[in-house]
């Protein structure tokens, strides 16, 4: 007999796993939906405005917009750049610990 939480988790994951292109309850979330990790969002960015706000899926940063370098944490105060752009930011360990590693999206071809 499966524990109730495991059964509930399987029931919630089943729709997301069976239809990878459709919106699920946990993955493939649209912009504006609540998230815990960027991997849940179609855009690839789970964003929170400050330490007390709820995180929501948001579009990636466009050229000349503020950004964060990609991180392992999964939730961003500034979204990473769109594909093809680079985030010109402080990429040191100190910047990521103090949460001051914001930059601006730039086209590396310019």
Give residue-wise pLDDT tens across range 55-93: 999 999 999 999 998 887 789 999 999 999 999 887 777
Model pLDDT, residue 96: 62
25-106 maps to which CATH number? 2.10.80.10
pTM greater than 0.85 (yes/no): no
Confidence of residue 4 (pLDDT cuts 50, 70, 90): low
Bridge-based pairing state of the strands 46-47 and 66-67: unpaired
The pLDDT value recorded for residue 100 is 73
In whole angstroms, what is the distance from residue 58 CA to residue 67 CA?
Answer: 12
- 75 burial (CB, 10 Å; 0-12 / 13-18 / 19+) is middle
pLDDT at residue number 18: 45
The span from the CA of 67 to the CA of 105, in Å, is 6
* Domain layout of the chain by residue ranges: 25-106
């Amino acid at each position: 007999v499966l524990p109730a939480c495991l059964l509930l988790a399987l029931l919630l994951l089943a729709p997301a796993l069976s239809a990878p292109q459709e919106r699920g309850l946990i993955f493939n979330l649209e912009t504006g939906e609540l998230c815990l990790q960027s991997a849940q969002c179609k855009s690839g960015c789970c964003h929170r405005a400050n330490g007390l706000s709820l995180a929501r899926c948001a579009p990636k940063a466009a050229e000349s917009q503020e950004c964060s370098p990609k991180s392992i944490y999964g939730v961003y105060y500034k979204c990473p750049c769109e594909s093809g752009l680079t985030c010109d930011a402080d990429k040191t360990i100190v910047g990521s610990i103090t949460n001051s590693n914001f930059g601006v999206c730039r086209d590396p071809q310019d």
